Amino acid sequence: MIPSTLPRRAGAGFKPEHFADILAAPQPIGFFEVHAENYMGAGGPPHAQLGKLREDHAISIHGVGLSIGSMQPLDRDHLARLKALCDRYQPESFSEHLAWSTHDSVFLNDLLPLPYTGETLARVADHIDEVQSALGRQMLLENPATYLLFTESTIEETAFLAEIARRTGCGLLLDVNNVFVAATNHNLDPDAYVARFPLEAVREIHLSGHSETVDDLGAPLLIDSHDMPVKDPVWALYQTVLRRIGPVASLIEWDNDVPAWPVLREEVVSAQRMLDDAARQRAA
């Protein structure tokens, strides 16, 4: 099984509108991450761009459609497409979500939440075994941003993820913004969540912006919107994690209201600075 081997540096989610700027002024960047499903056409500009990026940079392929948290079997055709994509581009990492997005044959195009029970734990672990053996790679599993809870849940999310990683040998992708969003939405302390998180399994971190609204009763409800800069409390939580585990591959995600490349790159530089600080503290 090929392990996840992203450099312990800051990277950016790749947006096609930035391609010309990235080519025109090549700069060191830890890695680029792409959404797998956008590169499942037969040819054309998407593959031309990804091929060029692959030549110059480390690449992370991030799936958003495998529906690993689904109670129904995985889509074998989709798994075959993911395998073809990974075989073609040989990414440093492949990751997916602790979520589901397909029901019956309908693709719902959102990362939907699942209850945490012994039954779902067994199902998700089976699915991850299947993915890892199909791809011949270790995958990373990302913690979700959630807005509500299930009465049937019996296991804490952090314990659920720890057990999944233990059973399957998968790595974890810690989305620090998702931690902040979900903790706020469930009136929990994000630092306590991080303290319980199985940090030893983390191979990548995600950082992004979120928007703020309120629920029916006026309590804060944060939305994982990926449409603005990373907010200060999320940066602070990120630094807490880095103090605990040292530098780790860290991605800025900005998928909606995408800014000009220099703006996104500035966010990447901010993350890199924090990574450099963490490396110095480790050395001291």
Partner 1 sequence: MSEITQKAFAAGLFGASLPPDGLVAWNEAVPQRRYDVYRNNVTASLTGALASRFPAAESIVGADFFRAMAADFIKNHPPHSPVLLAYGDDFPDFAAAFEPARPLAYLPDVMRLEVARGRAYHAANARPLDPAALAAVDPARLGSLVLVPHPALSILSSPHPMVTIWAMNAGERPLGPIDPWQGEHALIVRPRLAVEVIPLPPTGARFFHRLAAGANLAQAAAALEDNGFDLTEALAILLRSGAFTTFKEDVP
Site for partner 1, rule CB under 8 A:
37-38, 40-48, 64-67, 70-72, 75, 78, 81, 100-110, 112-115, 117, 119-120, 123, 147-152, 185-187, 213-217, 219, 221, 223
**Angle, vertex CA 28, rays to CA 22 and CA 32, nearest 5:** 60
Specify the residue, 109 or 281, whose C-beta has the smaller distance to partner 1.
Answer: 109
CB of residue 46 to partner 1, shortest distance in Å: 7
Q: Map residue 56 onto helix, strand or coil.
A: helix
What one-character DSSP code corresponds to residue 2?
B
Specify the residue, 187 or 284, whose C-beta has the smaller distance to partner 1.
Answer: 187
Cβ pair 85, 61 in contact under 8 A? yes
Specify the residue, 223 or 269, whose C-beta has the smaller distance to partner 1.
Answer: 223
CB of residue 216 to partner 1, shortest distance in Å: 5
Closest by CA to 247, choosing from 208, 184, 189, 202, is: 202
Q: Please name the amino acid found at residue 200.
A: E
Cβ pair 27, 265 in contact under 8 A? yes
What are the b/e assignments for 122-141, b being 16+ CB within 10 Å?
ebbbebbebbbeebebbbbb
Please state the φ and ψ torsions of residue 270, each to the nearest 5 degrees.
Answer: -60, -45
Specify the residue, 114 or 268, whose C-beta has the smaller distance to partner 1.
Answer: 114
**Angle, vertex CA 98, rays to CA 198 and CA 244, nearest 5:** 25
Specify the residue, 226 or 265, whose C-beta has the smaller distance to partner 1.
Answer: 226
Q: Please name the amino acid found at residue 242.
A: L
Specify the residue, 28 or 213, whose C-beta has the smaller distance to partner 1.
Answer: 213
